[in-house]
Amino acid sequence: MCLAIPGQIIRLAGDGEAVCDIGGIEKTVNVSLIERPVPGDWVIVHVGFALNRIDPEEAQRTLAALKAAGLHDEEHAS
C-alpha cells in the first residue's frame, strides 16, 4: 500500500527542496510541484515529493485518521 502523509514546511532548502516536519521528523522534500511554497504551508508528501498544498484543517483531519488507523504514532515518530 502506498501512503501520502501531511507534512509542514519548516524552511526552504534551495533547488526545489524544503525541509518538512513529518510526524515530528525533519525530512528534505522536493517541492518543485508546489507553486510558491513557503514555511508554514502544509503539503501532502509521497515518496519524497510534496504533491499538493492542503489547509491546516485537512492536515489535522488526515493525521487523526492515520492515528485512528494505527498508522501514525507521534510518541514513536522520532
* Mean pLDDT of the 12-23 span: 96
Q: Residue 49's pLDDT is what?
A: 98
Query: 31 near 16, Cβ under 8 Å?
Result: yes
Q: What is this structure's pTM?
A: 0.86
Average pLDDT for the chain: 91
Mean pLDDT of the region 48-60: 97
Integer Cα distance of 75 and 78 in angstroms? 7
The torsion defined by the Cα of 30, 36, 40 and 44, in degrees rounded to 10, comes to -50
For residue 70, pLDDT over 90 is answered with: no
Give the mean model confidence (pLDDT) for residues 8-37.
97
Q: Tell me the C-alpha to C-alpha distance, in Å, between residue 62 and each of 3, 32, 38, 42, 57.
A: 11, 23, 21, 11, 9
Class of domain 3-67: mainly beta
Q: Is the pLDDT of residue 78 over 50?
A: no
